[in-house]
Structure 1
Amino acid sequence: MRIGELSERTGTPRRLLRYYEEQGLIVAERCANGYRSYDEACADRVRQIRGLLDAGLPTRIIKQILPCLNAPRAIHFPDATPEMLATLERECDRMTERIETLVRNRDAVSAYLDVVRATRLPDAVGPAPTA
């Protein structure tokens, strides 16, 4: 598929897809006319990258762990340095904190909705009719 289709399928701007390619996160073949061509699995890879970025991981870390994400039971990482492990541990801790914050916020919004729904008058379901 071409870059425009990959962009549409993943909701990722073309510019970001080119950046991911520059960073070595995705690979594109080049057609005879010079256009980029991506295989079908690339859409899943882009979604995976987006999720990791949303979780707060930088692209340099994502590039290192992407090979491990295809076959999680076969993870073999012989070049993992103590610094990289420490970075991943910090990132994991940071994600856990973000998850806990999101859960608290979700619970607060749910509690608010419960109170609003419980105190709402039955005839106040929608906006007041206009004359």
Structure 2
Amino acid sequence: MRIGELARATGVSTRSLRYYEEQGLLPSERLPNGYREYGEEAVRQVAFIQDLFSAGLSSGVVREILPCAGQERPQGDCAALLARVRQVRDQLAQQERQLAGRREILERYLSGAAAPTGLTPPSPSSAP
């Protein structure tokens, strides 16, 4: 299938598909007229790439994951890669906990239950 067909089938822009190819994430065959031709598996691969990007992974990490995710025998050290992906996941979980804590502080402040630590609210007469 050509790039426009793949874009329609996946809901991903042709610009993104070209970027995936440039980054080594999505292989294509070049026809004599210069058009890109993608295999039927490209639809599943693009969906997987999108999922990994949505999870916050960089194109470099995605490029390392793809050989370990295919049905063919993986090339490279997939165990080390899995450890790296777990590390990214754990960092995201830590960021989520930090955001939840910050959100809780703001909720308490907005509800009038507590002012942020160390701050004295301005007096109404000094408000702009």
TM-score relative to the length of structure 1:
0.62
Q: Does 1:78 align with 2:82?
A: no
Counterpart of 1:69 in structure 2 is 69
Q: Quickly say closer, same or farther: Cα 1:67–1:93, change in 2 above 3 A.
A: same
Q: CA deviation at 1:96?
A: 4.4
Q: CA deviation at 1:92?
A: 1.8
List runs of 5+ in structure 2 lacking aligned partners: 101-128
Structure having the higher helix fraction is: 1
Counterpart of 2:89 in structure 1 is 92
Distance 1:13 1:98 in 2: 30
Which string of whole-angstrom CA distances, capped at 9 and with x for unpartnered residues, describes residues 61-80 of structure 1?
000011111249x6563387
| AA partner of residue 36 (structure 1) | R
Counterpart of 2:21 in structure 1 is 21
1:107-122 matched pairs, under 5 angstroms: none
Specify the SS of the correspondent of 1:47.
helix
| AA partner of residue 89 (structure 2) | C
Greater gyration radius: 2
1:37-76 matched pairs, under 5 angstroms: 37-71=37-71
Which string of whole-angstrom CA distances, capped at 9 and with x for unpartnered residues, describes residues 35-55 of structure 1?
000000011000000000000
The count of corresponding residues between Structure 1 and Structure 2 is 99
Contact kept in structure 1, 2:3 and 2:14, CA below 8 Å? yes
Q: Does 1:9 align with 2:9?
A: yes
Q: Identity of paired residues, percent?
A: 41
Contact kept in structure 1, 2:2 and 2:38, CA below 8 Å? yes
Specify the SS of the correspondent of 1:39.
coil
Identify which of structures 1 and 2 has the higher relative contact order when contacts are C-alpha pairs closer than 8 Å and 6+ apart. 1
Runs of 4+ in 1 over 3 A off after TM superposition: 74-81, 84-87, 94-100
Q: Quickly say closer, same or farther: Cα 1:97–1:79, change in 2 above 3 A.
A: closer
Distance 1:50 1:60 in 2: 14
RMSD over equivalenced CA pairs, Å: 3.1
| AA partner of residue 16 (structure 1) | S
